[in-house]
Amino acid sequence: MPQVKDSLGNALRLIRPVVVMDEGHKAVSDLAFSTLYGFNPSFVLELTATPKDVAPSGGKNPKPGRHANVLVEVKGIDLDREGMIKMPLNLDPRSGSDWRTALAAALGRLRDLGASARTLHANTGTTIRPILLVQVERTGGDQRDGSRIHALDVKEWLINAGGLDAAEIAIKSADTNDLAAPENQDLMSATNRVRIVITKQALQEGWDCPSAHVLCVLAASANLPAMTQLVGRILRQPNARKTGIAALDESHVITHHLDTAEAVSAIKKGLEDDGIGDLVREIRTFDPSVSSGPRAVQRRPRFAGVEIYLPLVLHVSAGQVRPLDCEEDVLFALDWSDVDVSPLVRRFPTHLSRPEHQMRRIRLADAGDELIVADLGEESQEQAVFDHAHATRMIGDIVPNAWIARAIVGDLCTGLTARGFTPEDLGEHTGLIVEELRTWLDALRNRRAEAHFRAEVAAGRIQFRLRTDRHNWRMPFETETFEPPAAERLSAEKSLFFPIHRGDFSSQEEREVAVYLDGESALNWWHRNIARSNYAVQGWRREKIYPDFISSSLASGPQGTPGNRLVVLEMKGKHLSGNDDTEYKKAVLQLMSDAFAVERSSHVGELELVIEDGTSVECELVLMPDWKTRLPQFFG
């Protein structure tokens, strides 16, 4: 006999349900529509902050377009009137400042909000735990190189200088999710200890926490769309109602390396495009022409078994040889006991403007437009007091000895008091004072580190040379590319790795250099050194020098024996000529030249080291506009 099988799907089709689709902008594909309408619904209600139209398709079987039928639109001003979002938004751009300064400002804002939250709890019994979101540049375990701001760098600074413990800091990334350990944490719980969440972009989609009040954007090369999306993570008001305390009813954004105009433009665009709801941007359809991750690239067959070595900067002591550790071998050895802060004291003007003058607020107007205004905000109910312990922690990453750091802070405050600063002035301008102190100490550290580095080179305890004991950098036998297999390739016959894609180069000028190297008849091979992951030269600063190109050509070794010349090139654009980073790299290479290759010091930053097999190494910093006249000198 025929059997009737139970089917929930068939039951739903008979009922003709009302389907409510949340985040409807994600369900626009043919599969999504066939699934939704396969339930034979009587009505489909889509909830989204970004309604999406689907254009008609072409081809032999064209499909009609689908257009969003907007029934109800909730304006941002309506949400604000209902107390559902934290507005106005306070923007504090820290263009050109050290990332630790921006982070210190964000941490200070978080502490102020914490004090306001405790006042709210004491008066009303309402519990709010303000949370700080920190956007960094790198989160992967193998991407921490001292060049880009890494999640672990921020976490360590918050623990060492900020005075927090590990339980108060959570990292949320593709491969690390502290918010899920030991179990899915409830950030709204009064007993939860997490106060800071560090991420790169894992919080852009689908994550929401009304307790998040402050966003600190540390990306040096600011990703404006990513920042715009993260702004939405701090807009929701806890319990969907205002507290009556201005600071807790507002959101705060502090940016590093982003000027006011750029930051305001990005935030304003997000408010306009995304309706201020939760600011979730539409997910882009995957394009197969865009790579989704790295691919391995092998050496050319004729170089597959060739061992290639380059010299490292080494620390030599008591017969022990190892790569130089800038933190341990240079910075930790600096003496801070004789610091005189009087030059810094004299730099402060006697009349400082209120710090609020640097702030920008974005308000909502009845007409639906955003008003960008500069206002002073509400007067603080409590008199600000300069916190010596906090200032000491803020410079702890520069001056590692806490006792000496505390003495430096004390000397600075004493000097400022002698110039007429009152305790109220010191408290009100704490942020500026600490920021100027950090900037001054950082410059002093660089000068002292350079002097120590040069002295160690002269004493032979810091060396840069090819060694027969294998304390060298070994060229890998494979590299990686983020270009898809079908991407356009660069026509090259002498690249060490193959294939090479046009997209592997960051500029047209770099591609032109590669083409030039490939055409040199004396060249054996060339390699585009991947910044922050391949060969590097360590100087007296934490940041390493990552050359752009490495090449090998024929040369004469000792007593005319055949040899190879390895040329390492660091390329700089003309607009970077004379800046601090360029001059630092030039000085490091010049020092190596003076120490080990006096006879070849005619070129700025050049050095040559010769070992028994005749291999020589030359390093050079070349400005991009000069490469056509400078590079032939190496291959003539």
pLDDT at 355: 54
Same domain for 623 and 527, yes or no, is yes
Whether 3 maps to a domain, the answer reads no
**Interatomic CA distance for residues 568 and 576, integer angstroms:** 19
Asked if pLDDT for residue 66 goes beyond 80, the answer is no
Cis-peptide, bond into residue 355, ω within 30° of zero: no
Whether 287 maps to a domain, the answer reads no
Q: What is the 3-state secondary structure (H, E, C) of 86-135?
A: CCCEEEEEECCCCHHHHHHHHHHHHHHHHHHHHHHHHHHCCCCCCEEEEE
pLDDT at 406: 94
- Lowest mean per-residue pLDDT among 371-380, 506-515, 555-564, 580-589: 371-380
Same domain for 262 and 115, yes or no, is yes
Cβ count near 575 (within 10 Å): 10
- Lowest mean per-residue pLDDT among 153-157, 314-318, 327-331, 592-596: 592-596
User: Considering only CA atoms, which of 191, 164, 179 is closest in space to residue 107?
Assistant: 164
- pLDDT over 90 percentage in the chain: 11
User: Considering only CA atoms, which of 393, 358, 410, 381 is closest in space to residue 112?
Assistant: 381
pLDDT at 453: 93
Structure tokens at 78: 């309506």
Same domain for 248 and 357, yes or no, is yes
pLDDT at 345: 93
Same domain for 39 and 148, yes or no, is no
Pairwise pLDDT comparison (103 vs 356), residue with the higher score: 103
Q: If you average pLDDT over residues 315-321, what whole number do you get? A: 86
CB 505 within 8 A of CB 528: yes
Asked if pLDDT for residue 605 goes beyond 90, the answer is no
Kindly report the backbone phi and psi dihedral angles of residue 320, in degrees, each rounded to the nearest multiple of 5, phi listed first.
-95, 130
Same domain for 41 and 94, yes or no, is no
CB 570 within 8 A of CB 585: yes
Same domain for 118 and 259, yes or no, is yes
Whether 134 maps to a domain, the answer reads yes
CATH number for the domain harbouring residue 268:
3.40.50.300
Structure tokens at 450: 């350079």
Whether 621 maps to a domain, the answer reads yes
pLDDT at 365: 56
Which range scores top for mean pLDDT: 145-149, 438-442, 576-580?
A: 438-442
Pairwise pLDDT comparison (319 vs 340), residue with the higher score: 340
Q: What is the pLDDT of residues 371-402, one digit of tens each?
A: 555 544 444 445 678 889 889 988 988 998 99
Task: Among 337, 365, 382, identify where a domain stops.
Answer: 382
User: 549-556 and 562-572 as β-strands: parallel, antiparallel, unpaired?
Assistant: antiparallel
- Which CA distances in Å does 410 have to 129, 210, 227, 339, 345? 33, 39, 38, 12, 12
Q: If you average pLDDT over residues 205-230, what whole number do you get? A: 69
Q: What is the pLDDT of residues 67-81, one digit of tens each?
A: 777 787 776 666 776
Domain that holds residue 370: 77-282+353-382
Q: What is the pLDDT of residues 511-548, one digit of tens each?
A: 888 999 998 888 889 998 875 557 888 899 988 888 88
Task: Compute the mean pLDDT over every residue in the chain, rounded to the nearest whole number.
Answer: 77
DSSP 327: I
Whether 107 maps to a domain, the answer reads yes
pLDDT band, residue 205 (cuts 50/70/90): low
**Interatomic CA distance for residues 113 and 228, integer angstroms:** 23
Q: What is the pLDDT of residues 164-194, one digit of tens each?
A: 888 888 888 777 788 776 566 777 787 888 8
Q: What is the pLDDT of residues 245-303, one digit of tens each?
A: 888 888 888 887 666 566 666 666 555 555 553 332 222 222 334 444 568 889 999 88
Whether 389 maps to a domain, the answer reads no
Same domain for 66 and 81, yes or no, is no
Task: Among 57, 73, 89, identify where a domain stops.
Answer: 73
CB 193 within 8 A of CB 179: no
Whether 398 maps to a domain, the answer reads no
pLDDT at 611: 41
Q: What is the 3-state secondary structure (H, E, C) of 144-157?
A: CCCCCCEHHHHHHH
Torsion angle, alpha carbons of 413, 416, 418, 423, to 10: -70
Same domain for 375 and 510, yes or no, is no
Pairwise pLDDT comparison (351 vs 557), residue with the higher score: 351
pTM of structure: 0.58
Question: SS3 helix, strand, coil % of the chain, rounded to 5?
Answer: 35, 20, 45
Pairwise pLDDT comparison (46 vs 375), residue with the higher score: 46
Q: What is the pLDDT of residues 124-136, one digit of tens each?
A: 888 888 999 888 8
Number of H helices, E strands in the chain: 16, 21
pLDDT at 30: 80
Same domain for 83 and 168, yes or no, is yes
pLDDT at 138: 79
CB 359 within 8 A of CB 374: yes
Angle at 626 between CA 463 and CA 147, to 5 degrees: 45
Q: How many domains does the chain have?
A: 3
pLDDT band, residue 240 (cuts 50/70/90): confident
Q: If you average pLDDT over residues 417-427, what whole number do you get? A: 90
- pLDDT over 70 percentage in the chain: 73
State how far Cα 472 lies from the chain centre: 30
Angle at 313 between CA 309 and CA 317, to 5 degrees: 120
Structure tokens at 315: 């620390």
Task: Among 40, 73, 106, identify where a domain stops.
Answer: 73
pLDDT band, residue 602 (cuts 50/70/90): very low
pLDDT at 280: 28
Asked if pLDDT for residue 328 goes beyond 80, the answer is yes
pLDDT at 437: 94
User: Considering only CA atoms, which of 191, 196, 118 is closest in space to residue 164?
Assistant: 196
Q: If you average pLDDT over residues 570-575, what whole number do you get? A: 74
CB 604 within 8 A of CB 586: yes
pLDDT at 405: 94
Q: How far apart are the first and last CA of the chain?
A: 93
Angle at 30 between CA 24 and CA 36, to 5 degrees: 55
Asked if pLDDT for residue 14 goes beyond 60, the answer is yes
Same domain for 114 and 195, yes or no, is yes
- Lowest mean per-residue pLDDT among 12-16, 79-83, 172-176, 434-438: 79-83
Q: What is the DSSP string of 164-218?
A: --GGGEEEESSS-BGGGSSS---TTSTT----EEEESSTTSSS---TTEEEEEE-
Same domain for 28 and 115, yes or no, is no
Q: If you average pLDDT over residues 225-245, what whole number do you get? A: 74
Structure tokens at 149: 């701001």
Classify 379 as helix, strand or coil. coil
Pairwise pLDDT comparison (405 vs 203), residue with the higher score: 405
pLDDT at 289: 41
Same domain for 92 and 167, yes or no, is yes
User: Considering only CA atoms, which of 2, 7, 35 is closest in space to residue 19?
Assistant: 35
Whether 475 maps to a domain, the answer reads yes
